[in-house]
Amino acid sequence: MLVQIRQVLTREEVAHCRRMLEAAAWVDGRQTAGEQSAKAKLNLQVPENGPASRELGDLILRALGRTPLFSSAALPLRVYPPMFNRYDTGMKFGAHVDNAIRYVPGTNGFRMRADVSSTLFLTDPEDYDGGELVVEDTYGTHAVKLPAGDMVVYPATSLHRVNEITRGSRWGCFFWTQSMVKDDGQRAFLYDMDMAIIGLRQALPDDHPSVLALTASYHNLLRRWAEM
């Protein structure tokens, strides 16, 4: 399941992120990659424990908290501290699958499962050529290139890549979520149900029997499948 979420950040928040990142130190992105991913990765990142990452990470987490569609799609239990990367001309990230388990920085070895991957775009599409996020799933191949402030959410089990930049620079934020529902199929089913419930509520009163019945079924399935 691939879900695009519009305007996670306002234009003012995007501009603030860009100003802070322009003043930040950048390091080789392979420092945070696994053994397999490091062979395919050519980009730059802001150090995870640097002040820019911490401040902007908090901003992103607050933005997620006001974004209901992210909660519906990811059903988050834990969110890995957001990280920030850039792809300049000639940079790319070859096909790979994200690591299943992540050690959370700043903790005493705490680990979380990466169920859902998210990429939040901080550069508008017209400012660079190439740089599409290409995600492969059971429904085919999807190339994603969104306006600054928009985000895409997709299963961390997906094979994906970032195409080579041929002009300009692509800046973004990325992170992983441990979902309450680790199975991709079950999570997608619940997302579809939630969207159907929202549609029904727009057409019918909240106390309509069909709204109540579908809402009850959603929560009972979530109760059955959720891991806390």
pTM of the model: 0.94
Split at pLDDT 50, 70, 90, the class of 178 is very high
Q: What is the pLDDT of residue 31?
A: 74
The answer to the question of whether 219 is labelled as a binding residue is no
Q: Is 16 annotated as a binding residue?
A: no
- Distance CA(99)–CA(174), nearest Å, equals 14
Query: Tell me: the pLDDT tens digits for 186-218?
Result: 999 999 999 999 999 999 998 999 999 999 999
Host H or E run for residue 9: none
Average pLDDT estimate for 20-35: 85
Name residue 83's beta-bridge partners: 174
Beta bridge partner(s), residue 130? 165
Does 124 belong to an annotated binding site?
no
Task: Tell me the C-alpha distance between 104 and 80, whole Å.
Answer: 7
For the segment 58-106, what is each residue's pLDDT rounded down to a tens digit? Answer: 999 999 999 999 999 999 999 999 999 999 999 999 999 999 999 998 8
Total number of residues shown for the chain:
228
pLDDT band for position 36 (50/70/90)? low
Q: Is 96 annotated as a binding residue?
A: yes
Residue 35: the pLDDT is 64
Kindly indicate the confidence band of residue 34, based on its pLDDT and cuts at 50, 70 and 90: low
Distance CA 35, CA 129 (A): 28
